[in-house]
Structure 1
Amino acid sequence: MRTGGFELRKWASNQPDLLSHIPPSDVQMSCSFDKEEPSFIKVLGLKWCPKSDEFTYSFNPVDRQCTKRNILSEISRIYDPIGFISPVILLAKCLLQKLWESNISWDETPSTDILQVWNRYKSELSQLAGIRIPRRVISDNISCMELHGFCDASQTGYAAVIYFRTINDSGQVSTFLVTAKCKVAPLKIVSLPRLELCAAVLLADLLTFVTTTYADYLCFNSIYAWSDSTVVLAWLAASPHKWKTFVANRVSHIQGKVSNTSWRYVPSSDNPADCASRGLTASQLLEHKIWWRGPNFLQHCNRDVWPAQPHLEMCESVYSEEKQTSLHVSLEEDIICDLLHKFSSIRKIQRILAYVLRFFLKSKDSLQSKTSFISSSEMRKSLIYIIRHVQRKTFSDIIDKILSNALLPKPFRKLAPFLDSEGLVRVGGRLNNSNFTYDVKHPILLPKSHRLTDLIIEWIHQANLHPGLKTLHCLILQQFWIHLHEVLYTNV
C-alpha cells in the first residue's frame, strides 16, 4: 500500500514494543502507555484500552424532549455488535415494543408509565463505563478448548450466549464470554415451550456463526448446547416429522446445525442466558458474575460436577405438539351401489366393508381388533352402514320430515317411522310394549325396489333352506319391513 501512496496511520497495539518501530506521527495519539489513567480508542463502536487490553462502553445521554423519535434515537446510540450487554439491550427492545404498541406518533410524548421506565433506564446507562471485558479470550498452552452455548426464554424475550472454555497444560480452567444475542417475545401470545424452542434456534445459529468465524484459527474439542427446558430437549431428541409444523420446522433447522448429542440440560439457576431473556439494568449487569464467566460448574476441571441429565419424559407439553395422524375414509353412495351390483351375496359385501371399516378404526386406535377374522359384531356394523346409506338415498324426503316433525306421505303415515340411535329408519306401531325383541317390534324399513332388498331376501331364503312363501314372509318380518313383499318373494 505504501508503494501505491496509501500510508497507514493511527496505529494502535497492546504491545509497546511493536509501536516503537512505527513513526510517532503514524501512531494513534491516545494510545499511550505512560499515563497512569487509561486511554481509550474507539474500535467498531466500542472503547478499547490498549494498556489493559480491555473493551468498555460509554454512554452520554442527550438532554432533549422525550418523544417516540428521540427515545428511539437515544437507544440506537447504544452500540453492542457482539452482544456483551444483551441483558441491558433487551430492556431497551421491550421499551421500543411498548412504544409501538401504544400507537403514538413520532413526535408525541409517551404515557407516564413509559416515561418513568425510560428515565429509570437512561439514568443507569452511565454505569456501563464500569464494565471491563478482556479482549483476549484464549490463554497460553491450551490443551483443550470447548464451546459452550446456553439458551433461555421468558414471556419477555429469549436469548442465547456463548462461552469459550479452555484448559491449559497445568489443568487450569478459564471461561470467556464470546458473544450473545437476544430478541423480544412477539406480541402474539406464544407458549413458553415454543419460546424456549425459538431460543434454541437462536443458539444453533449463533454456534454455527462462531464455529464458522473461527474455523481457520481454532479447533474445538467439544461443542455443547445447554437448555433448561426438558420439553425442548425431548423435541430435539425425536424426528422432526413427529411434531406439528411450528415445532417440526424449528427442530429440523436446529438438528441441521447442532448434533443431537451436543444438547444437555442445565438448571435455570445455572443458566447465564436466563438474565438475557428477562433483562437487567446496567448496575445489575455489573454484579452478575454468571453472565461474565458462565456457570460455576464450567470452572471445574472434573465433569462429575456438571448437571445430571434427567430422563426426558413425554409430558403433556411435549405431547401437545405431536402431529396427529388422521385418515379420512369417505364411502360415497355410488361405491355402496357398485358393491351391491358387483356381488351377488350380501354377506360377501358385508365382509368387504367390514375390512374397510376395521382399517379405518385401526388407524385411529392401534388396539383395535388384532385377529384376522371378521367378528359377528363387525358384520352387523357393516350391514347397518349399507342399509343407512341406502335409506338416506331412497328415503331422504321421509328422513327430513321425521327430523322436522312434518306430516308424512300417506303410504308411510300408518307405519309411524322413526330414526333409531344408529340412524336407521324403523317402523313404529303399537308393539312397543310387547315382549318381542327390538327388531321384531320395530323392523328396519327397506325400499320395495332396490338391489339391497333383493340381496337380503335371497340371503334369508338361502339361510333358512328355501322355505315357503308365508314362512319366508315371517322370517323377513323378524328384522325388516318391505312394501309389496308378495311380489318380491315370488321372484326369489
Structure 2
Amino acid sequence: MDDTMTSVKNEQEAVELYRELKELWGSAGMSARKWVSNSKAVLEKIPEVDRAKEIKLSGNALPSAKTLGLIWKADEDTFKFQGGSGPSNVCKLTKRLALSRIASIFDPLGILAPVVVAGKIIMQEIWANGLDWDEELSPDVGQKLERWIANLGELKDIEIERCINPVASKTKVAPLKSMSIPRLELMAAMLGLKLAKSVVNPLQCQLKEVKFWGDSMNVLWWIRGHRDFKPFVANRIGEIQGQTNPSQWRYILTKLNPADVASRGCTVIELRQNELWWQGPEFLSDCEMQWPENKIEKAIDEIEIKKRTKTLLSKVVPRVKSDNWRLNPIRYSSWNKLVCVFAYVMRFINNCRLKDKVRGPLNVDEVKDSEIAIIQKAQGDEFSDEIKRLSKGEILSTKNNISGLNPQMDADYLLRANGRLSLNEAISYDVRYPIILPRKHHVTKLIVKMYHELGNHVIGTNHTLSLLSEKYWVQAAREEIRECEKNCMGCRRRLAKQGEQIMAPLPKNRTSNESLKAFTRVAVDYAGPFLTKQGRGKVQTKRYLCLFTCLSSRAVHLEMAYGLDTDTFLNAFHRFVSRRGKPEEMMSDNGTNFVGADRELKGVLKSLNKDKIQSVTVVTGMKWSFIPPMTPHFGGVHESLIKSAKRAIYGVLRNADITDEELHSAFVGAEGILNCPLTYQSASVKDVIPLTPNHFLHGQMGGNLAPESILDSC
C-alpha cells in the first residue's frame, strides 16, 4: 500500500472524505494515517494520531508529501519533481543505464513529457543499433545520453501549481518501420482521443464537450469523411467518427500547438521557460466566438484515398473459366509475375475506358488492386457460399470449415479472419485480420512459394509460416508449406543424399590376428620441421617427428629425428625397436606423396636409401614395403595420425621457444594423448573404463600431458 493524493472542491468535502474513508477502512480493520492537507481548518478536524507526524498546527508552515517521486508542498499548494541523478558517474554508458534513467522519472500526468520523450528517442536509437543490455554505446549516442542525463538535474527547479492548464499529456515515439507523416499524425490523433477518454471522468465532463486541436490538415480533412480511404486510415477514422463528432476537431497553427513541444522534445530549462506548454495558446482564454476560424481545406496528400477504378475492373476478371484463359493462375509459376501481368491487363482495360491514360511502370496501387482481384477470384472459387451468406449478414454454420476463424468481409470484399488481436492497434491491420486463403488452390501455392523463395529455401516450415501469417491465413498452412518444399527442385537438389563411396576392405596386415602384441606390423611417417634453440646467440636447428603406429592396435610411438638422412632415420628406428620390440612387417611412404609447401618434407622419405634400409632390416627378418607413388590413401592409417600428432604437439608447445629436451618431452606427452580410447566412454558408473592402446603397451590409460617447464615457458 502506498500513499495517495486527491483533490476536492472545498473544506467541507475534504472533512467528509476523511470521515467516509475512516469508516470504510475501519470496517476492514485498517486505518488510514499520515493525513496532510493545505487547509489548517481541515487538519483541525482530523485527530492528531491520524495526521502526519511532521504537522504542527502551532507553526506557520505545513509539511510536504511525497508519492512515488512527486512532491506536494502543502503550504504553497504546488507540485515539485525530484531532480534526476545528474551526470552519469559510471564509466560505461549502456542500454540498461538509459532505460534505468528514463524509468526513474515519475510523471504520471505527462507534465514532463517534452523532457521524457527526448530520452525515449535516444532509447529508440539504441534499440535500432542492435546493442545488448550491457554493451557500451557508440560515441555519438553516448554523448546524447550523457547530455540528457545531466539535464535531469534541473528537474528540481520545476515547481508547478496544483491547478494548472496542462491537465495531462501522452507521447509515443514514431515506430522504426517507415511510415508517412500523415499516417503518423493520424496515430497522434488516436492517441489524443484515448487521452481525452481517460481524463473526462475525473474532470466530470463528457467526451462530446471536448475540443480536439490539430495542425494536420490531412487528418482533419479525413475526419470529415469526404472519400473512401485505405484500410489503415479507414479503420482509425471510423473509430474517431464513432466516438466523436467531426465538429469537435479544429485546426490550430503549428506554432500555437502545445503538442508540437512534446513531439520535438526539449531540455528542462527550455521547458520551464516555455509559456506555450504551461499556459496554452492565448485565444483559449477568450470566448469560443473569438477563436480562430476553423477553416479546413482539402487534403493535399491523396495517397490514402482508395482508387475507384478497381470496382470497374473487377467486373471483368472472374467471368472466364477456360483453362486456356491467359490469366489463369495455373499457367503461372510465380506469384509476382501473375500479379504484374494481371495489373498490366487491368491498366489496358482502364486506359481503353478513360480519357486519362496511365503510362510507365506499375505503381503501388495497381499492384495492390491486382493482388486483391486475384485473391477475390480464388476465394470466390472455394468460398462462394460463405461469401453470399456473409454479404447478406448471415452467420455461418458451426460445421463450416472456416467458421472457427470468425470470417468477415472487408471494404475490398475479401474474406478475412477475425481473431483475438483485433483490439491491438500496435500491430498492422493485416496481422489482426489476415486474408483467408483456400487450401490446395493454385493462388495459395504461388503465394506460399513466394515466401519460401524469400527465405532462400533454408528458413524452414515454421519461419515460413510466421512470415506468411503477417498477411494471410492459409488453411492447413503447414501441410501446404511442406508440400511446397517437397515439390521445390532447388530444395530437392540441396537435400538429396550424396552418393557414398564403397570403401575397399582393410589390408590384410591390418586385420590379421596372428599376433596380438603391439607394434608387430608398423607404419612409419615423418612430420616437421620443429625449430629448437641450441644456446644463446646460436642459430635454431630443425628437428623432425618420426611417427610409428601399430596397424592392429593403433598404438603410437613418437621419436625425434635430428635430420633427414637415412642414417638418422635408422637411428630413430633402432631406438623404436629397442623400446617397443622388433616388428615383423614395416610399411612407409614412397616419398612422392608429400604435397606440402615444405620442400624438405617432400623429400624426407624420397631421399632415404631404400637399399640400405632393406639391407639393414632384412638381416633381422623384417619385411619392409613401400606404398605406391601418388597414392596417399594407401597410407591413411599413418596420415591421419600425423595430423593428430601435429595438433597435439602444437597444443602443448604453442609459441614457446624450446630446447631439444623440451621438444622430446612434448613428443612423449603427445604420444600419451594419441593413445586415446578405442571404445565408447559410457556415462554409467557400472561400466568399465574404455580400452586404449596404452593398455596394450603398459597396462594403464596414460599419464600427464607434458612437463611443467614447457607449460611455464608458454
TM range (shorter): 0.5 to 0.7
Report the Cα distance in structure 2 between the residues aligned to 1:177 and 1:201, rounded to whole angstroms. Answer: 19
SS in 2 for 1:128: helix
SS in 1 for 2:144: helix
Q: Corresponding residue for 1:206?
A: 195
- Please give the per-residue CA displacement for 1:262-286, whole angstroms capped at 9, x wherever unaligned: 0111011110100101101111100
Q: Please say if residues 86 and 181 of structure 1, whose CA atoms lie closer than 8 Å, have aligned partners that are also in contact.
A: yes
Report the Cα distance in structure 1 between the residues aligned to 2:224 and 2:56, rounded to whole angstroms. Answer: 54
Q: Please say if residues 208 and 245 of structure 2, whose CA atoms lie closer than 8 Å, have aligned partners that are also in contact.
A: no
How many Å apart are 1:213 and its aligned residue? 3.7
Measured on the aligned residues, the alpha-carbon RMSD in Å equals: 3.0
Q: Please say if residues 61 and 75 of structure 2, whose CA atoms lie closer than 8 Å, have aligned partners that are also in contact.
A: no
SS in 2 for 1:133: strand
* Aligned partner of 1:21 among 24, 29, 45: 45
Q: Please say if residues 236 and 251 of structure 1, whose CA atoms lie closer than 8 Å, have aligned partners that are also in contact.
A: yes
What pairs up with 1:112-131 in 2 under 5 angstroms?
112-131=139-158
SS in 2 for 1:313: coil
Q: Please say if residues 59 and 129 of structure 1, whose CA atoms lie closer than 8 Å, have aligned partners that are also in contact.
A: yes
The residue type equivalent to 2:157 in the other structure is G
Change (3 A) 1:286 1:8: same
Q: Please say if residues 88 and 282 of structure 1, whose CA atoms lie closer than 8 Å, have aligned partners that are also in contact.
A: yes
> Is it true that 1:332 corresponds to 2:358 in the alignment?
no
- Please give the per-residue CA displacement for 1:52-97, whole angstroms capped at 9, x wherever unaligned: 1121211241733422212211221011111111111100110110
Change (3 A) 1:198 1:3: closer
> Is it true that 1:238 corresponds to 2:238 in the alignment?
no
How many Å apart are 1:336 and its aligned residue? 12
Q: Corresponding residue for 1:103?
A: 130
The residue type equivalent to 1:105 in the other structure is D
> Is it true that 1:292 corresponds to 2:278 in the alignment?
yes
Change (3 A) 1:101 1:271: same
Q: Corresponding residue for 1:320?
A: 303
Report the Cα distance in structure 1 between the residues aligned to 2:267 and 2:78, rounded to whole angstroms. Answer: 21
> Is it true that 1:56 corresponds to 2:80 in the alignment?
yes
Q: Please say if residues 82 and 155 of structure 2, whose CA atoms lie closer than 8 Å, have aligned partners that are also in contact.
A: yes
Report the Cα distance in structure 1 between the residues aligned to 2:274 and 2:117, rounded to whole angstroms. Answer: 16
The residue type equivalent to 1:47 in the other structure is I
SS in 2 for 1:24: coil
Report the Cα distance in structure 1 between the residues aligned to 2:67 and 2:56, rounded to whole angstroms. Answer: 16
Q: Corresponding residue for 1:222?
A: 209
How many Å apart are 1:43 and its aligned residue? 2.5
* Aligned partner of 1:91 among 102, 115, 118: 118
Q: Please say if residues 265 and 309 of structure 1, whose CA atoms lie closer than 8 Å, have aligned partners that are also in contact.
A: yes
* Aligned partner of 1:43 among 58, 64, 67: 67
Report the Cα distance in structure 2 between the residues aligned to 1:301 and 1:69, rounded to whole angstroms. Answer: 49
Change (3 A) 1:8 1:68: same
Report the Cα distance in structure 2 between the residues aligned to 1:366 and 1:210, rounded to whole angstroms. Answer: 53
Q: Corresponding residue for 1:149?
A: none
- Please give the per-residue CA displacement for 1:119-150, whole angstroms capped at 9, x wherever unaligned: 2111221221222232236xxxxxxxxxxxxx
Q: Corresponding residue for 1:7?
A: 31
Report the Cα distance in structure 1 between the residues aligned to 2:29 and 2:320, rounded to whole angstroms. Answer: 86
Instruction: Write 1 or 2 for the structure with the bigger share of strand.
Output: 1
The residue type equivalent to 2:185 in the other structure is E
Report the Cα distance in structure 2 between the residues aligned to 1:60 and 1:277, rounded to whole angstroms. Answer: 22
SS in 2 for 1:274: helix
What pairs up with 1:372-411 in 2 under 5 angstroms?
none
Higher gyration radius (CA): 2
- Please give the per-residue CA displacement for 1:458-486, whole angstroms capped at 9, x wherever unaligned: xxxxxxxxxxxxxxxxxxxxxxxxxxxxx
Q: Corresponding residue for 2:237?
A: 251
Runs of 5+ in structure 2 lacking a partner?
1-24, 326-345, 358-714
How many Å apart are 1:10 and its aligned residue? 0.6
Report the Cα distance in structure 2 between the residues aligned to 1:34 and 1:199, rounded to whole angstroms. Answer: 51
Larger relative contact order, structure 1 or 2 (CA cutoff 8 Å, min sep 6):
1
Change (3 A) 1:363 1:35: farther
Q: Please say if residues 115 and 265 of structure 2, whose CA atoms lie closer than 8 Å, have aligned partners that are also in contact.
A: yes
Q: Corresponding residue for 1:308?
A: 293
Q: Please say if residues 64 and 70 of structure 1, whose CA atoms lie closer than 8 Å, have aligned partners that are also in contact.
A: no
Q: Please say if residues 33 and 51 of structure 1, whose CA atoms lie closer than 8 Å, have aligned partners that are also in contact.
A: no
- Please give the per-residue CA displacement for 1:129-178, whole angstroms capped at 9, x wherever unaligned: 222232236xxxxxxxxxxxxxxxxxxxxxxxxxxxxxxxxxxxxxx211
TM superposition score normalised by structure 1: 0.56
* Aligned partner of 2:105 among 56, 69, 78: 78
Report the Cα distance in structure 2 between the residues aligned to 1:14 and 1:222, rounded to whole angstroms. Answer: 31
How many Å apart are 1:293 and its aligned residue? 1.3
Q: Please say if residues 10 and 26 of structure 1, whose CA atoms lie closer than 8 Å, have aligned partners that are also in contact.
A: yes
Runs of 5+ in structure 1 lacking a partner?
138-175, 338-356, 369-492
Report the Cα distance in structure 2 between the residues aligned to 1:33 and 1:115, rounded to whole angstroms. Answer: 50
* Aligned partner of 1:189 among 134, 156, 178: 178
SS in 2 for 1:324: coil
* Aligned partner of 2:166 among 158, 177, 187: 177
What pairs up with 1:260-275 in 2 under 5 angstroms?
260-275=246-261
SS in 1 for 2:72: strand
SS in 2 for 1:321: coil
How many residues are matched?
Answer: 303
Q: Please say if residues 208 and 257 of structure 1, whose CA atoms lie closer than 8 Å, have aligned partners that are also in contact.
A: no
Q: Please say if residues 53 and 135 of structure 1, whose CA atoms lie closer than 8 Å, have aligned partners that are also in contact.
A: yes
How many Å apart are 1:35 and its aligned residue? 6.8
Report the Cα distance in structure 1 between the residues aligned to 2:170 and 2:102, rounded to whole angstroms. Answer: 16
- Please give the per-residue CA displacement for 1:336-382, whole angstroms capped at 9, x wherever unaligned: 99xxxxxxxxxxxxxxxxxxx9xx769964999xxxxxxxxxxxxxx
Report the Cα distance in structure 2 between the residues aligned to 1:24 and 1:233, rounded to whole angstroms. Answer: 56
Change (3 A) 1:237 1:72: same
The residue type equivalent to 1:321 in the other structure is E
SS in 1 for 2:52: coil
